[in-house]
A = this chain, B = another copy of it.
Amino acid sequence: MRLCKVNVAIILLVLGVPSVGAQIKTVAERLGYPPDAKLLIVHADDLAVAHSVNAASFDALDKGAVTSASIMVPCPWLTEVAAYAENHPDADLGLHLTLTSEWKIYRWGPVESKDKVSSLLDPAGYLWSEMAPAARNIKPEEAQREIRAQVEHAVAAGIHPTHLDTHMGTLIATPELFAVFVKIAHEYNLPFLAPRQLAERGPLHSALSEKDILLDSVVMANPSVHADAWKDFYTEAIKSLKPGLTEMIVHLGHDDAELQAVMVDHPDYGSAWRQRDYEFVTSTEFKKVLQENNVILVRWKDLQKLLK
């Protein structure tokens, strides 16, 4: 029964295999791999949110346990990430554009002047806690102002972002916010998180250009995965990978006093969750299953080069 549950939860966004007979080259081909290669970005989200998350993520990056990570620019620990970036110029670090501040007793505001982005603020003066009120209340022009400020602030801090993605998916929540996300990504000539299934059809599509690189699939643990099935979930996900470009999103951290307090009363994506993710990506089992399944690890940096 448990395995059945795991299987249901494996692929968050169903694979959209590149269409057979397409005239354009696949991303794999463009990167010099066979057209049917299984490319995987192993991506740590939420850098800068807490020291514990930084420490676990830096360790995983250093070990090559994750290929890439992205940074929450408005968060208190940004300067620690900037120092890491300076000392690790080859690290594949993007920006996890942030329009929400979701934890109970630990909050942050925008990078931009508050009065220029007032629709981004909840009644307490921080970024919205949840995606739904954020998507409902945020004016797209203020979202644009804020995410441009986040990019500029990161660059000023010495970070050279390789890609953009979106914290809690807020910037893919509505066509208007997605349009802003894509506009800023185009402006800075950066690849960005756009899952094919969401982006290729439907209301988000019109924001995209032909040059944009879509993710064929995204794998991410979700609350239906039991703690004791963690390894099985990821292992099955790797075994089930199809040809194309997949991102596996993980949330790393140490289950310590700081992170337990940040994430108090929130087991989903919480402190113990992040410890489990950290333990899995740094395990020998993970390396082994990647090798056994001929998975080719790639980075956003590789995709960034295709845009040049």
List A residues at the B interface (Cβ < 8 Å).
50-52, 54-55, 76-80, 83, 104-109, 111-116, 124-125, 153, 156-157, 254, 256-258, 261-262
Contact = CB atoms under 8 A, between A and B. Distances in A.
13 contacts: A50-B258, A51-B106, A51-B261, A51-B262, A52-B257, A77-B105, A79-B105, A113-B113, A115-B116, A124-B156, A125-B156, A254-B257, A256-B257
Contact of A79 (B78, B83, B107): B107
Contacts of A106: 51, 76-77, 79-80
A254 B258 CA distance: 11
Given A112-B114, A113-B115, A114-B114, 9 more contacts: A51-B106, A52-B258, A76-B76, A76-B107, A76-B108, A79-B107, A80-B261, A109-B109, A256-B256
Nearest to A254: B257
Among A76, A83, A113, chain B packs the most CB atoms within 10 A around the CB of A76
A124 to B, nearest CB: 7
Nearest to A103: B79
Contacts of A77: 105-106
B153 A51 contact: no
Copies of the protein in its oligomer:
2
Contacts of A80: 105-106, 261
A79 B257 CA distance: 17
A83 B105 contact: yes
A255 B258 CA distance: 12
A262 B76 CA distance: 10
Nearest to A108: B76
B79 A104 contact: yes
Contacts of A104: 79
A78 B51 contact: no
A74 B131 CA distance: 24
Nearest to A125: B153
Interface-centre pick from A54, A55, A111, A125 (highest chain B CB count, 10 A) = A125
A125 B150 CA distance: 12
A124 B157 contact: yes
Contact of A55 (B124, B153, B156, B257): B257
Interchain residue pairs A-B with the least CB separation, the first 9: A80-B105, A258-B258, A113-B115, A113-B114, A51-B261, A79-B105, A76-B76, A113-B113, A79-B107
A87 to B, nearest CB: 12
Contacts of A54: 261
A108 B75 CA distance: 9
A296 B262 CA distance: 37
